[in-house]
């Protein structure tokens, strides 16, 4: 079964986050909140155009999204996450900001050599870009699961499903 999640995850009070009007957030566990980057959200941010300026060729993170994450991080930690799987194997990207400065990444990882994009590393799941980024934010995995599952990212497989619930 496939999955596709793209979001900005942040700590602190969502009411004081520098989120553009009309975008919805979803509470996670561990005191974190998610801003799902649906097609509508990406359009509003000016990042839906497939020719949008990517941080690296063949990566998903767009400069418009990175600029939003950087602005949001003025008084909090912010982590951009992207993950996509195809019946098991997949790819992940993550980048984190704190006080307007990059503190993690950008990092790209994949499960299989065949999926490696320029700049990606092939790693086991526990060392994925998202898990590492969450650790850098201070998330501690619950015994028996990884950081991704600890904060509740396994609740939905598709970004749009986070808004529909």
The two tokens of residue 119 are 């700049």
> pLDDT tens digits for 62-84?
989 999 999 999 999 999 999 99
Give the residue with greater pLDDT, 105 vs 163: 105
pLDDT class of 164 with cuts at 50, 70, 90: low
Q: Is the pLDDT of residue 56 over 80?
A: no
Residue 161 has pLDDT above 90, yes or no: no
Among 38, 21, 35, 25, smallest CA distance to 159 is for 38
Domain membership flag for residue 59: yes
- Domain assignment present for 165: no
Q: Does residue 141 lie within any of the structural domains?
A: yes
Say if residue 165's pLDDT is above 60: no
Residue 155 domain-assigned (yes or no): yes
Question: Can you tell me the mean pLDDT for 17-32?
Answer: 93
At 117 the pLDDT is: 85
pLDDT of residue 76: 97
Domain count, the chain: 1
Q: Which domain holds residue 99?
A: 3-160
Residue 135 lies in a domain: yes
User: 3-class DSSP state for residue 151?
Assistant: coil
Query: According to the model, what pLDDT value does residue 51 have?
Result: 61
Cα separations (Å) of 130 from 23, 52, 161? Answer: 22, 23, 19
Q: What is the pLDDT of residues 99-157, one digit of tens each?
A: 999 999 999 999 999 888 888 999 988 899 999 999 999 999 999 999 999 999 888 87
């Amino acid at each position: 079964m496939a999955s596709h999640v793209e979001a900005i995850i942040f700590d602190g009070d969502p009411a004081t986050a520098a989120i553009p009007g009309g975008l919805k957030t979803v509470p996670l566990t561990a005191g974190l909140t998610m801003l799902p980057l649906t097609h509508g959200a990406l359009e509003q941010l000016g990042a839906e155009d497939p020719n949008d300026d990517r941080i690296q060729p063949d990566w998903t993170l767009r400069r418009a999204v990175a600029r939003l994450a950087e602005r949001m991080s003025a008084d909090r930690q912010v982590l951009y996450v992207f993950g996509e799987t195809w019946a098991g194997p997949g790819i992940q990207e993550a980048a984190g900001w704190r006080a307007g400065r990059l503190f993690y990444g950008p990092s790209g990882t994949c499960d299989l050599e065949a999926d490696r994009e320029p700049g990606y590393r092939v790693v086991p799941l526990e060392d994925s870009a998202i898990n590492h980024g969450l650790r850098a934010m201070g998330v501690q995995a619950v015994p028996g699961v990884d950081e991704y599952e600890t904060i509740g990212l396994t609740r939905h497989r598709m970004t749009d499903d986070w808004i529909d619930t």
